[in-house]
Amino acid sequence: MCFTSNFWSLTIDGLNNGFLYALIALGYTLVYGVLQLINFAHSEVFMSGAFGGLLLTQALIGSSNPTGLTAAGYVALGTLMGALVGAIVAFMLERVAYRPLRQRHAPRLAFLITAIGASYFLFSLAGHLFGRDVYPAPDLLSHKNLFSIGSRGIQAYDLLVAGSAIGMLILLDRIVAHTRLGQGIRAVAQDAETASLLGVNIDRVISQTFIIGGLLGGAAGFLFCLVNNVGYTMGFVPGLKAFTAAVLGGIGNIRGAVLGGIALGLVENWGVTCVRNSWRDVIAFAILVLILMFRPTGLLGERLGRSA
Amino acid sequence: MNQTQLLERGRKLLPWVAGGVLLAIMTGPQGRVGQPAYSISQALHPGHLFESIAITVVVGVIAQLWAARPAQVRESITQLRSESSRFYARREVRYGVYAALLAFAIVLPHIVGAYWQEVLVDKIGIFALLAVGLNVVVGFAGLLDLGYIAFYAIGAYVAAYFTGALPVQPPFILNDFYILFFAVAAAMIAGLILGAPTLRLRGDYLAIVTLGFGEIITILAVNLDSVTNGSRGAPGITSFSFHVFGINYDWGLSQTPYYYLLLVFAVVIMVAFHLLENSRVGRAWTAIREDEVAAQACGIPPVKYKLMAFAIGASTSGFAGVLYAAKISFINPSSFTVLFSILVLVLVIFGGMGSLIGPIVGAAAIQWFFAYVQKHDGAPIPGIGVKIPIHPEDIYLYVGAVLIIMMIFRPQGIIPSRRRAREIGLAEHGIGGADATGAPVGSPVS
């Protein structure tokens, strides 16, 4: 087989990508759960989070050269800022673009068109405000190998992505399963009308769902820009792949989105050793079409409104 | 008016003030990578900020006055509207309007300068043709195709192949008129391959699959070096020519002949689509849009008709691709980015989805505006002396904004199809779907 030569290296890189896809995919899947809407603009939530965190850390770093605890603090602050900006953008998106349509019971086509319009508006606005050239990744993480798995040295970034992603995923799972907010989200996902009759404030639950998706997507954006040079169009391809991950796991299914994200990250990274690296996006797209052809409900099935 | 009423009025203007701030940010100077705060701080400069807020607040006040117009005015407007629509509904009036528009289109290239002749062909003509095709998908069938330009690319590359402009040589070199058939077939087959697995599922999956497909086509065009010549592109695509009965005519690279060629094709295609809309197929599309379950119960296979609309749209796009390639004589992958798909979408939505001339008017208005912005970048408008504060690089900012604003305030477009407008109104009262993308938002999937 073609991927055996660099197996561990590919696997770890695949996991890194996969965790980020999973974090973004959760935004798609949560919103799909409560609104049955593909929120195309979620890719720009990811982009906004990246810019928010990146600009903050750039301002903090200035001309200094942070190491050790300072650098770790900056990374934490950047992630928080990314999550915050992502949440604000997602909230505004729902409030300004989708809620007027929802109140009017507009046809679904109108939502989809608004979603793509919002996506174009947001990334063009970022290009307009911050320039259309590439921002280099901030130099915060050491590239020292901490230990190795197989032939692949594990660096701080790998631990950071895996740790923060797993932490956020567990937290989300607990929130949806055990809190009042989670109950509300599940109730609206199962049957919005009945939920509202039983006293669930649908508008608020929908807002909160967008905010949760925005927090995760924004944080993923900052984690992404720590090792990648980013620009205003950075959201498009990861967004498309995260959607693929959500469908792969079963849209509306929270654990499915996580599984789908990790699976897609791995398959894509193993796959590029068989073809050229520039075909990476084609692999993800082929997977999307194949799932839709053969198992449109995804690996774990569509499970709107269940706790897991 | 007492104080509480005034306060209420003032509170209603707050969103417009926020809109003014956004407008100020949108029309500010271009950002710089090194100085991320530069653009915002310049945009929020008091003078510029005040101007922008003043503009939106004036619009807001007008909107409020309009919403609070007295019953008398309201009544006379309703009457005027119903009279004018009755007038327009008369066949001779409608055909008179079409004939006048056509006559205008025929003389147009002779009354404008060289720059606008080029705009008429490359920007307005080609995109009007694309918009007419996308209108079948979005307007007639109620589906969303976000990778529409991919089929245009397929058409253009088929043209490049059969004129011998690609590294792979064709078995025979063809005249562009014959290539049209191959391009339409290729685009249609691609549409069927993409649509068949997707359209069986919820309609909104089509949107994201086509979005992905649009991206993949550019990746393929860049990376299949040995076939498409990669990002270097394919130069030397021959232009349309005509050699029958000893008459030889070559369209060459000049604008006006292509304009008339496009006009003839556009009129023929529009007439064909108009007939199609009023045929059995068109009625099936209407039935599916208005109530898919009922349509299915009446023996209309929805997947088949949706696929048909999608394939017809794709083939129109392929057709336009050949015209583009032959006109420009050089294509490369950057002519077919996903951006253009959204541009065509905004032309259809702005003009009026489902209406016959809406997409054409949308294409003409929006593409003219963007071409105008491009030409007068930063310079004041002659005669008025006001600068348009829109930078050509920001075009997609306004494309996105127009899509959102149209969906919120006027989803039927500026020249609505009457049936489509009524459907959207009914759907908002919970009757029918007004599209073919499955259950309305907010209702359970199952």
pLDDT tens digits for range B228-260:
887 887 887 877 777 777 677 777 777 888 888
Structure tokens at B27: 């029309």
Half-sphere exposure of A201 (CA within 13 A, CB side): 6
Name the DSSP letter for residue A28.
Answer: H
Instruction: Give the integer Cα–Cα distance in Å for A143 and A247.
Output: 35
Q: What is the pLDDT of residue B284?
A: 92
Q: Phi then psi for A141, rounded to 5 degrees?
A: -100, 140
- B116-428 CATH fold: ABC transporter involved in vitamin B12 uptake, BtuC (1.10.3470)
Q: Which residue of A has its CA nearest to B35?
A: A130
Whether B446 shows a pLDDT value over 70: the answer reads: no
AA letter at B260: Y
Nearest CA in chain B to A105: B428
Lowest-confidence region among A81-95, A146-160, B261-275: A146-160
* Spatial CA neighbour of B238 closest among B131, B339, B326, B354: B326
Q: Kind and range of the H or E element at B330?
A: strand B330-331
pLDDT in tens, A196-222: 898 888 899 999 999 999 999 999 999
Cβ of B219 within 8 Å of Cβ of A135? The answer is no
Q: Which residues of A touch B142 (CB under 8 A)?
A: 107, 109
CB–CB contact B208 A236 (8 Å) = no
Nearest-angstrom CA–CA distance, B432 and B103: 39
Q: Does B227 touch chain A (CB under 8 A)?
A: no
Phi, psi of B250 (to 5 degrees): -120, 130
Mean pLDDT of A106-127: 90
CB of A271 closer than 8 Å to CB of A165: no
Domain chopping of chain B, boundaries: 1-68, 116-428
CA dist A139 and A126 (Å) reads 22
> What is the per-residue pLDDT for A304?
59
Contact B216 A281 (CB under 8 A): yes
Residue B378 clears pLDDT 70, i.e. is over it: no
Residue A143 contacts B, CB cutoff 8 Å:
no
Instruction: Answer whether residue B441 shows pLDDT above 80.
Output: no
Are residues A48 and A221 in contact, defined by beta-carbon separation less than 8 angstroms?
yes
Interface residue of B204, B339, B409 to substitute, partner A, most A CBs within 10 Å: B204
Residues A38/B204, Cβ–Cβ less than 8 Å: yes
Please tell me whether the overall predicted TM-score, pTM, comes out greater than 0.95 for this model.
Answer: no
Q: What residues pair up with B243 in beta bridges, in sequence order?
A: B248
Residue among A101, A109, A111, A241 with most chain B CBs within 10 A, to mutate: A109
Q: Which of B137, B199, B208, B292 to mutate to test the interface with A (most CBs of A within 10 A)?
A: B208
Q: CA-to-CA distance for A40 and B404, rounded, in angstroms?
A: 13
On whether the CB atoms of residues B382 and B396 are closer than 8 A, the answer is no
Cα of A156 to nearest chain B Cα, Å: 27
Q: Answer whether B424 sits within 8 Å of A135, measured CB to CB.
A: no
Residue found by looking up tokens 């294409």 in the block: B363
- Determine contact: B343 vs chain A, CB below 8 A: no
**Rg of chain A's alpha carbons, rounded to an integer?**
19
**What was the pLDDT predicted at B49?**
87
Q: Which of A129, A282, A302 sits opposite B216 (nearest CB)?
A: A282
Distances (CA, A) of B43 to A126, A252, B29, B35, B52: 14, 41, 7, 14, 10
CA-based max dimension of chain A: 59
| Best mutation target, B346, B404, B417, B429, to test chain A (most A CBs within 10 A) | B404
Q: Is A277 on the interface with B (CB under 8 A)?
A: no
In this predicted model, what pLDDT tens digit does every residue of B320-353 receive, in sequence order? 999 998 888 888 888 888 889 999 999 999 988 8
Q: Give the tokens for residue B184.
A: 């339409």
C-alpha distance from B85 to closest chain A C-alpha (Å): 25
Give the integer Cα–Cα distance in Å for A108 and A39.
Answer: 12
Cross-strand partners of B248: B243
Alpha-carbon gap: A154 to the closest alpha carbon of chain B (Å):
32
**Closest CB to A292 among B28, B209, B216:** B209
CB contact under 8 A, A285 and B215: yes
